[in-house]
Structure 1
Amino acid sequence: MLPPIRMGFFVVAVCLATPVLLQAQAVGWRTDGTGRYPAAQPVTEWAKDTNILWATPLPGSGNAIPVLAGDRIFTTVEPSTVVCVNAGDGVILWAKTNSYEDVLGAEASEQIRQAAVLNRDVQKAEQEVNKLKEQIKKAQKNQQPEEKLQELRQPLAPAEKALGEAREKLKPFEQYALPATHAVNGFASATPVSDGKRVFAVFGTGVVAAYDAAGNRLWARLLEKPQHAWGHSASPVLVGGKLLVHIRDLVAFNPGDGKELWRVKAKPAWGTSFPFAIGGVDMVAVPCGMVVRVADGKILAQGLPALEYNSPLVQDGVLYWIQSEAIAYKLPTEPSEELKLDPLWKVSIPKDRYYASPLVHDGVLYAVNQVAMFSALDAATGQVLYQQKLDLGKGQIYPSATLGGAGVYFGGESGVVCVLAPGREYKLLTRNASLEKSRSSPVFRGDRLFLHTLNTLYCIGKKEG
């Protein structure tokens, strides 16, 4: 979610004496997607000089949630680097780039170089056109005389012509050019996913890559690039023996060799698909408003309201769909070729963008919008239990609410984190000042909290003695 950092080829390799410990299920975005760590016993207070067990500067900025796989942590940084960190001491074990040249081979290096030059020309021409349009718009707003408006309009046509010519020159090299993205999203917002033996990463460049625990690339491919200018953040999902990636379409891969198995037309989304099962049949709820069977890509339900920014959630047989209107759907107990999803309840919550995905725990649903207005709902009925404006500092609210033991952790882009007591009444436990700006949610294991700020990976907990 930061502007792309032009990094050279960066590799740190450490021989792994033992393999990564296997886990019972895939670990990825919000660990299992729910953001719940009820068995954790983390601290609720920290500062730059308090309860920081280690802090590891990363070789670039990024927004991915840390992925705890055995004794290792996987994350990604700009523009296309997978990083593996020792969970015990924070030492970087390896970091591997996945640039177009890395993936397409050295023979494509000249085309990549030309694409970069021509892409800069297009961006420069776009900036000039946008600047002129803004000047005209401002003059019109200020009711400038027609003579002045004509003077401002004169250079616009040549500037638009120059932009068209720049785009035409780029066309033969477009496959080698980085796509447009937003400064917040960058190219490294998607969280990796791991099965304990391998780690899979997706970047806003359109690259999908797989590595083993030692940092050996198993396969990589340029799948497809986002077609809008706002970047990509939907994380990959491992479910039913398949790797699901959603950039322009929802695509299933064989995790072993990267072979494409099926593809479903699905409107691009920033949120991540949520895996679940009904009667042993694996499915995913896709933010664009569909439920898809993992085995063959068959659409089992569609026409649900599209989630614009965040992710759906399935818990205890209920599908939660949260934006300015919160909806809960009861899932059937048996699979079928066409799922009937009737709303259990529907309720309006404060209108605004919901970048953060919801949390459900002990019968309470927690949701927070981009301006830190927080709502707690009865998960069974949708009744609003309370609403509260959280003091999360300046900036948008991107991190999702996360349960860590006896606290619900809410963070903001500023880096401020508020910890609330879970329950049906509002109770603030602590407010932690910023360590650094962050758009990532924390993860927990035992008495440790792991947080990926823009440029640093932190391990937070009580020091022994």
Structure 2
Amino acid sequence: MKPITVIICAPLLFLITANRCLSDDWGSWRGPTSNGISTETNVPTEWSKDKNVAWRVELPGPAGATPVVWDDQIFLTTVDGTSLLLMCFGADGKEQWRREIGKGNKEARGDEGNSASPSPITDGKHVWSFMGTGALACFTVSGEPVWQADLQQRYGKFDIAFGMSATPVLHDGRLFVQLIHGDGEPTTQEAIVVAIDAVSGEHVWKVERVTGAAKENEHSYASPMLYDFGDHTFLITHGADYTVAYALEDGSEIWRLGGLNPQGTSYHPTLRFVASPAAAEGIVVCPTAKNGPVFAVAPDRKGDLTDSDAILWVRDQHTPDVPSPLIHDDLVYLCRENGMLLVLDRKTGEEVYMERTHSHRHRASPVFANGHLYLTARDGKTTVVKAGRDFKIVAQNDMDETMSASPVISNGTIYLRTFDALWAIRND
């Protein structure tokens, strides 16, 4: 019998390849390039509980961790009573597997968070899950255990008021974790940054992150970010009054930015950082907290950037307290916790506009796709705003379920994780 030969014509092959290239895997909580930006175009702007809903699946417990997606698998962390879980769903909404990472869930500030607050990370081969208890685990995407470690046993007990919530960064076979905490006294600050081999779980390096921060400011709820543009690739950490950049190879400090909460008689004792920095080519935007300032710095510098010409601009107030900034084209978008959208010129920091979207708590970070911003509030309403210099609300979509996770966009689907369920939103 002759073998069967399948011939795919060039145009069809091009179409298949092009469609795959236009789809984004969303392997970390801020997306494929760690900046909240999707390149996909077939993305819904309107939906409701009965419009453009592909499926909805109930979850065993609440959490604010953003899911991650690779190909046709969705991974998320959650709680089930006292159990801390990593779960995997297919793009059809069917659960594929769940694994218990540990026990001992603790709620933070009522409904603001719990021990499953950090988001998972995946590269399509493995998936990693970090919990506020210090449990860090690696599985294959089929759910087979690879390794597990307790970072409190390895690096010391966490001392942080509302729980460790930083999501690790994955790059070039290593996980980078910022553990910024302490007992409120600057002489005993316990902040460190560590690198861990992603496949073996072995320790690679650890550096102390000394800043002199005191009181509640020793505790950071922000996540580290990767700057990866041009010839510069490094880790950005945020908290304890400073933004600090580290070399990925050995953890050596590249630069640090102070002035976010100047020490002295006007020192703010509770200016803890929750919003993470944002990066684009040639700029890093550093938020603070509680209506404080926003700094933009040039990333290609070394040493102490405080009061230097590396500072591109400063906005003296109106920082987002929880949502992270988003940079796209020539604009910086800041979604404040009260639903005000502040847009600044990327080069000068001058205000383009500040308008109200939806008057409710905003905890999720904004996401960009196909010329639109997606801003999600705690009451489950997502406001879709036209990107650009003119303010225009395109749609407001209400799921009527509590939500603090950021939207995820992958393969033409918006995944919304509420406290009750995981939703898949697709154009009909």
- The root-mean-square deviation of aligned C-alpha atoms, in Å, is 2.5
The CA distance in 2 between the partners of 1:180 and 1:222, in whole Å, is 20
Equivalent residue, structure 2, for 1:269 = 220
Contact 1:356 1:399 in 2 (8 A): yes
The CA distance in 1 between the partners of 2:304 and 2:353, in whole Å, is 36
The CA distance in 2 between the partners of 1:205 and 1:53, in whole Å, is 34
Equivalent residue, structure 1, for 2:170 = 238
The reply on whether 1:451 has 2:416 as its aligned counterpart is yes
Equivalent residue, structure 1, for 2:137 = 209
The superposition leaves residues 22-63 of structure 1 with CA deviations (integer Å, 9 ceiling, x where unpaired) of 999982121132111133321111111111001111222211
Equivalent residue, structure 2, for 1:195 = 123
Structure 2 length normalisation: TM-score? 0.78
In 2 relative to 1, CA 91–278 (structure 1 residues): closer, same or farther, beyond 3 Å? closer
The CA distance in 2 between the partners of 1:440 and 1:24, in whole Å, is 19
Contact 1:26 1:239 in 2 (8 A): no
The CA distance in 2 between the partners of 1:423 and 1:402, in whole Å, is 14
The CA distance in 2 between the partners of 1:55 and 1:25, in whole Å, is 20
Equivalent residue, structure 2, for 1:54 = 55
Aligned AA (2:28)? G
Contact 2:24 2:40 in 1 (8 A): no
Q: 2:297 aligns with which of 299, 305, 329?
A: 329
Structure 2 counterparts to residues 225-304 of structure 1, below 5 A: 225-248=157-180, 249-266=192-209, 268-277=219-228, 280=231, 282-288=233-239, 289-304=243-258
The CA distance in 2 between the partners of 1:294 and 1:240, in whole Å, is 9
Q: Shift in Å at residue 303 of structure 1?
A: 3.8
- Corresponding residue SS for 1:81: strand
Aligned AA (2:56)? A
The CA distance in 1 between the partners of 2:87 and 2:39, in whole Å, is 27
In 2 relative to 1, CA 24–48 (structure 1 residues): closer, same or farther, beyond 3 Å? closer
The reply on whether 1:91 has 2:94 as its aligned counterpart is yes
Equivalent residue, structure 2, for 1:135 = none
Equivalent residue, structure 2, for 1:170 = none
Q: Which shifted more, 279-288 or 72-81?
A: 279-288
Equivalent residue, structure 1, for 2:109 = 182
Task: Between the two structures, name the one with larger relative contact order (CA 8 Å, sep ≥ 6).
Answer: 1
- Corresponding residue SS for 1:287: strand
Unaligned runs of 5+ in 1: 1-20, 101-176
Aligned AA (1:94)? W
Aligned AA (2:97)? W
The superposition leaves residues 48-87 of structure 1 with CA deviations (integer Å, 9 ceiling, x where unpaired) of 1111001111222211112111211111001521111102
The CA distance in 1 between the partners of 2:425 and 2:356, in whole Å, is 26
Aligned AA (2:70)? A
The CA distance in 1 between the partners of 2:75 and 2:160, in whole Å, is 28
In 2 relative to 1, CA 385–281 (structure 1 residues): closer, same or farther, beyond 3 Å? closer
Q: Which has the larger radius of gyration?
A: 1
In 2 relative to 1, CA 40–392 (structure 1 residues): closer, same or farther, beyond 3 Å? farther
Equivalent residue, structure 1, for 2:5 = none
Greater share of helix residues, 1 or 2? 1
The superposition leaves residues 119-170 of structure 1 with CA deviations (integer Å, 9 ceiling, x where unpaired) of xxxxxxxxxxxxxxxxxxxxxxxxxxxxxxxxxxxxxxxxxxxxxxxxxxxx
Contact 1:204 1:233 in 2 (8 A): yes
The CA distance in 1 between the partners of 2:193 and 2:424, in whole Å, is 34
The CA distance in 2 between the partners of 1:406 and 1:385, in whole Å, is 17
Q: Which shifted more, 310-319 or 57-66?
A: 57-66
Contact 1:56 1:90 in 2 (8 A): yes
Aligned AA (1:85)? F
Q: Shift in Å at residue 94 of structure 1?
A: 0.5
Q: Shift in Å at residue 279 of structure 1?
A: 6.0
Structure 1 length normalisation: TM-score? 0.72
Equivalent residue, structure 1, for 2:282 = 317
- Corresponding residue SS for 1:61: coil
Contact 1:313 1:358 in 2 (8 A): yes
Q: Shift in Å at residue 278 of structure 1?
A: 6.3
The CA distance in 2 between the partners of 1:405 and 1:391, in whole Å, is 21
Greater share of strand residues, 1 or 2? 2
Q: Between Structure 1 and Structure 2, how many residues are aligned?
A: 361
In 2 relative to 1, CA 341–264 (structure 1 residues): closer, same or farther, beyond 3 Å? farther
The CA distance in 1 between the partners of 2:313 and 2:330, in whole Å, is 14
Contact 2:67 2:74 in 1 (8 A): yes
Aligned AA (1:321)? C
In 2 relative to 1, CA 402–214 (structure 1 residues): closer, same or farther, beyond 3 Å? same
Q: Shift in Å at residue 369 of structure 1?
A: 1.7
Equivalent residue, structure 1, for 2:6 = none
The CA distance in 2 between the partners of 1:39 and 1:316, in whole Å, is 20
Q: 1:376 aligns with which of 315, 331, 343?
A: 343
Aligned AA (1:271)? A
The CA distance in 1 between the partners of 2:232 and 2:344, in whole Å, is 30
The superposition leaves residues 168-207 of structure 1 with CA deviations (integer Å, 9 ceiling, x where unpaired) of xxxxxxxxx7667433111111111111100111111111
In 2 relative to 1, CA 321–392 (structure 1 residues): closer, same or farther, beyond 3 Å? same
The CA distance in 1 between the partners of 2:42 and 2:146, in whole Å, is 36
Unaligned runs of 5+ in 2: 1-19, 181-191, 210-217, 262-271
The CA distance in 2 between the partners of 1:444 and 1:25, in whole Å, is 8
Equivalent residue, structure 1, for 2:14 = none
Which 4+ runs in 1 deviate beyond 6 A?
Answer: 21-26, 177-180, 335-341
- Corresponding residue SS for 1:36: coil
Contact 1:272 1:311 in 2 (8 A): yes
Equivalent residue, structure 2, for 1:116 = none
- Corresponding residue SS for 1:97: strand
The CA distance in 2 between the partners of 1:388 and 1:275, in whole Å, is 30
Q: Shift in Å at residue 407 of structure 1?
A: 1.4
Contact 1:38 1:406 in 2 (8 A): no
The CA distance in 2 between the partners of 1:238 and 1:199, in whole Å, is 10
Structure 2 counterparts to residues 93-108 of structure 1, below 5 A: 93-99=96-102
Contact 1:209 1:219 in 2 (8 A): yes
Contact 1:240 1:295 in 2 (8 A): no
Percent pairwise identity: 26
The reply on whether 1:346 has 2:289 as its aligned counterpart is no
